[in-house]
Amino acid sequence: CLGHFKEEYEKVSKLYMNNKIRTTKYTLLNFLPRNLFEQFHRVANLYFLFLVVLNWVPLVEAFQKEITMLPLVGVLTIIAVKDGLEDYSRYKMDKQINNLLTKVYSR
């Protein structure tokens, strides 16, 4: 229906973004660094990281190094899995919404 305006339409339409919805926070490439960045904004995680780092100093070592790391690694892993599952469900919902058929008004 564009007729002779097709070339002009293609030039102008390249300037606009697509109409897809994206509500996910992460991609496969940025999941780990972004998730760790968000988790270490919590004071409790920073405190446990400080204890882990402090325990690697031989003069201050109170427990075995590996035992001190277990609570922090456990909490970080559980939260990362939870965030990953939530983001994956958002991705599936976005994909479902973006693939819906729509009606377009045309004179």
CA distance 6 to 20: 23
Which is it for the CA torsion 9, 11, 12, 17, positive or negative? Answer: positive
Expressed in percent and rounded to 5, the helix, strand and coil fractions of the chain are: 65, 0, 35
- pTM value surpassing 0.85: no
Q: What is the pLDDT of residues 31-79, one digit of tens each?
A: 999 999 999 999 999 999 998 898 888 887 777 888 889 989 999 999 9
- Pair 43, 74: CB distance under 8 Å: no
Q: What is the pLDDT of residues 8-27, one digit of tens each?
A: 777 777 777 777 888 999 99
